[in-house]
Amino acid sequence: MVFLDSDHMSLIERGGAESPRIRARLRNVPLDDVATTIISYEEQTRGWLARIAQASTSEQQIFRYGELLRQLRNYCDTAIIPYDDQAAQIYEDLRRQRIRIGTQDLKIAAITLANDALLLTRNTQDFAKVPNLKYEDWSA
């Protein structure tokens, strides 16, 4: 199983230079084995809601609501793995180990570990701190 971190989801959505590289590699993974986490959905949704709240013109609001809708459609087309009891237990274990990365990243790592998945992320520096976590950056 391969999980897309928030940054890889964003790269695919934006369609920049990294997007074709990620998509090409994902074509070699069975569709049923590609997912993201509910934490990534939360992160991106909070970001777009903040941008909408900061919009000062109707044009900015229209554009940002359009981007929020595009993000929603993208997530509807991607399996989303929940933060469940097993992930919560792993998260608490990682916190007790004093793993020093952000709370949301620690939850994404916990979900990934709970599902014995590979996490695709550009944030390799932080995720390298999580014992036994499998991660790669497919954007490079």
**CATH number for position 15:** 3.40.50.1010
Domain that holds residue 31: 2-37+79-136
Q: Is residue 23 part of a domain?
A: yes
Q: Is residue 73 part of a domain?
A: no
Confidence of residue 15 (pLDDT cuts 50, 70, 90): confident
What is the DSSP code string of the chain?
-EEE-HHHHHHHHHT-THHHHHHHHHTTS-GGGEEEEHHHHHHHHHHHHHHHHH--SHHHHHHHHHHHHHHHHHHHTSEEE---HHHHHHHHHHHHTT--S-HHHHHHHHHHHHTT-EEE-S-HHHHTTSTT-EEE----
Q: Is residue 22 part of a domain?
A: yes
Q: What is the pLDDT of residue 93?
A: 97
Q: Is residue 87 part of a domain?
A: yes
> How confident is the prediction for the chain on average, in pLDDT?
95
Q: Is residue 117 part of a domain?
A: yes
Q: How many domains does the chain have?
A: 1
pTM for the model stands at 0.93
